[in-house]
Amino acid sequence: MIVSMTGFGRAEGTYGKKMYSIEIRTVNNRFCEISFKYPRYLATKDFELKEIVRKKISRGKISINLNVEADDNEIVNLNVDEKLIKEYIVLLKKVNGLIGSKEEIKIEHLLNFTDLFSADKAGEISEEEYSFVCKLLNKALDDLIKMKIKEGDSLKKDVLDRIKFIDKESAAISKLSKARVETERKRLLKRVELLLSDKRILDENRLEIEVILLSDKIDITEEVIRLKSHTKYFIEYTKSEELAGRRLNFLIQEINREINTIASKSLDAEISQRAAVMKEELEKIREQLQNVE
């Protein structure tokens, strides 16, 4: 299955007098990297919330914003970041020194920095409310996954079209190669006959061995067979139920290896040109797979 690592999901709901909203954005990443923003009273649930996400998303950079709008009359706790205040005071003193000011640092200067203060609901979250948050998070994840699957379908169509093109070119190269082996054999025999007109010094057995070795060297039958096998598995994995990103990236490396060998063995300009086109298509597939989970 091809699922995109890029997507957006959203869910919202009301619990008591509070309106919860969750937005999830994902982009491509080699690993599963989760960034969570939520009210302070959910900090103790950080691990559990991230585990819910990991059960549904295996790769990608995931940014989740969980926002709560509470009743204005609800009791809140006012919080002050003492460490940050001290750092700002040091910074303001440094600025005074740079500009040569002797102005005293006052509290109104610090009030301009809004990140020093925050207001949270008093007390810990109840199990009932936490259960509601988990259900809402799962709903947002399901919405995200729908978009990721839809985007994955577009990626799947594109990479399959390119893989089928590579298959077609591989078959054409195989036909050209078989014809080329016989042509090279005849060309070599003709050249040897011209160079060694005296048959007494010509070791025909040795010549035959050299021809066989040359034929083996330019024969790409094994490479074409392996290439066909890799593309077959590639197509199968795109249609399987498991997330195929890592497997497909591995197969792309193996396909690239076979194409390189075919190109290096080729003594034919047309085969070389076709191999170059195959590599271009493979590189486009590789770029697309960077966004596949």
Cβ neighbors of 167 (< 8 A, separation 6 or more) are 228, 231
pLDDT of residue 168: 94
CB 5 within 8 A of CB 43: no
Given a cut of 80, whether residue 215 has pLDDT beyond it is no
pLDDT confidence of residue 120:
55
Numbered ranges of CATH 1.20.120 in the chain:
152-289
Q: Percent of the chain beyond pLDDT 90?
A: 53
Q: Could you tell me how many residues make up the chain?
A: 293
- Fold for domain 152-289? Four Helix Bundle (Hemerythrin (Met), subunit A) (1.20.120)
Angle at 164 between CA 162 and CA 169, to 5 degrees: 95
Assigned CATH class of 7-75+123-149: alpha beta
Cα–Cα distance for residue pair 92/101, rounded to 1 Å: 10
Q: What tens digit of pLDDT does each residue of 44-101 get? A: 999 999 999 999 999 999 999 999 987 655 545 567 788 888 888 898 888 888 888 8
Residues of the chain with CATH 3.30.230: 7-75+123-149
